[in-house]
Amino acid sequence: MSDSLKDIMRKAGNRDFNERERAKFHEKADELAEYYDNVEQKTELEKRHDRFRQRQEYASRLGPAAERLPIITKEEREERKKNRPERRQIQFEGPIEKLIEKYKDPREVFNHLSHGQLMKYELDDETGCIYEKGKLIFDGEKLVKE
């Protein structure tokens, strides 16, 4: 029953309705008083279970979750997709030697490395040198061959 209908019936003075409302209120109040009287005797597991049941009861009063979901129009979906920031694609573009030839700048090379390559190589920001397991492989200008 909607709230507005309840208000109208309450104002109209429907005795049966008022008695049912009052009985429901007293029942809930008694249940709540009983809960707080026994709360000291309950274990943590019982308290957690009670909280879970209260959340379930509250959720059931709201109705099915699918009905509460917002319905997004096609235009809103496209607008949301357009405003979403572009994420950097991290994928394998080739071995580090090819990336160095292509991009020249070591910082730019590191922007194009895959996850595995990022774990394998280290960049010294000050000098622009690239190290692999402690060995120098790029000195900032050219590949170092050993």
List the chain domain ranges.
3-68, 96-138
Q: State the average pLDDT over residues 107-131.
A: 88
How does pLDDT run across 55-104, given as a tens digit for each residue? 888 777 777 777 767 788 999 999 988 888 887 777 888 888 898 888 88
How far is Cα 136 from Cα 122, in angstroms, rounded to an integer? 10
The pLDDT of residue 21 is: 79
Above 70 in pLDDT, residue 10? no
> What is the pLDDT averaged over residues 21-39?
76
Please report which confidence band the pLDDT of residue 114 belongs to, taking 50, 70 and 90 as the band edges.
Answer: confident
Q: Taking residues 26-55, report their average pLDDT.
A: 79
Rounded Cα distance between 139 and 9, Å, is: 85
DSSP annotation string for the chain: --HHHHHHHHHHT-HHHHHHHHHHHHHHHHHHHHHHHHTTTS-HHHHHHHHHHHHHHHHHHH--HHHHSPPPPHHHHHHHHHHSPPPPP----S-HHHHHHHH-SHHHHHHT--HHHHHHEEEETTTTEEEETTEEEE-SSSB---
pLDDT higher than threshold 80 for residue 2: no
Residue 54 has pLDDT above 90, yes or no: no
Q: Give residue for tokens 């357009």.
A: 82
